[in-house]
Structure 1
């Protein structure tokens, strides 16, 4: 368990402590954006490899049981996670750039500024609750912390690029899904999202629901 905790802290440190703080700017100033991104990518791969390896070999303690009814709920919640993930490839804040901040938020951006991070946060939280053991709490908890901390971190980076454009963009969007729509600062336009994210998300969700035992060794739903 100690190695798993250290691997989780290493993963969080790379993505929150380095990428999400002023250390990133200092590192980029020292080595350049391209070299930093190469180094960051390599370090991320090493970090996730160590995290998965530590999780697979960690001793674990049973903490709680997710009953059949709850597991059905958790399985159902994975569907919006997949849809958010697929929709994020069309419009997401990390690909907007300073120029894009001045554009009207469209598609999934009307619902949330961070669809991909929300998909990871949902995935991690669902597996923490569903597994109910200490090793899963640390492993998936590392991804949950990274996803949740990444949202304000990305917002801060975009705000620094163009404060005026960011003020307009953030006023029409929200971190919390549907918050801007509920507040009347935006509107729901499902047609802008298109048919592909929900359809592909549904196919992936159904496939993993069916093959979860074969791929990961445990069923997604206990009958």
Structure 2
């Protein structure tokens, strides 16, 4: 048996259109190029059959197009040239940034220069009850003072979607809430419940669940983000350097 025959036996042929064979690898490559979530529905015997049918249809169209010399039509040649131009530009860009690397020392040095930006500010974990009228807010506060559960009252009276979680807003940081709410929440103590706080949305009863302290940036937590940012910067610099050299060779005019 020749080497060619051995290789052909190793490749599983799943269909044939004229003299063109469709291999199992063609099916796998077709699925691999799909969006992963969409591709999941084809990971079955029926799904594979659908892919094979689609590859057959595509091959039939291809053969018909070649036979009718569609590849020589002016419109097709224009599309082909546009596609070729786009691919060359994309390939040229990848070559321009080829070889750009980031080492651990650069990542650490960059982290030291920007770590203030990665510092986590003090935060507040709070819940609230939002109503339209101040009088209603005061009535709810009375219920709380008499021992009724804040979370239960939030589910009953609050107009904010957070009512489903007992009014829980999670942890937020300075500037994330409207100013009146923000200022009051950060001035309160853990476990404290506020008087009605008016904002553009209505009247809030705020309950501070927990306050978190300012946290220094952790290098291990942000290393990958910094590496990606540095890579972007260095690739951009390499790209612009290449383009600026080319401007000397090919005069550019902007009209």
TM-score bracket for the superposition, by shorter chain length: under 0.3
**TM-score under structure 2 length normalisation:** 0.17
What TM-score, normalized to structure 1? 0.19
Report which of the two has the higher share of strand: 2
- The structure with the largest alpha-carbon Rg is 2
Considering Cα pairs closer than 8 Å and 6+ residues apart, tell me whether 1 or 2 has the greater RCO: 1
Specify which structure has the higher proportion of helix.
1
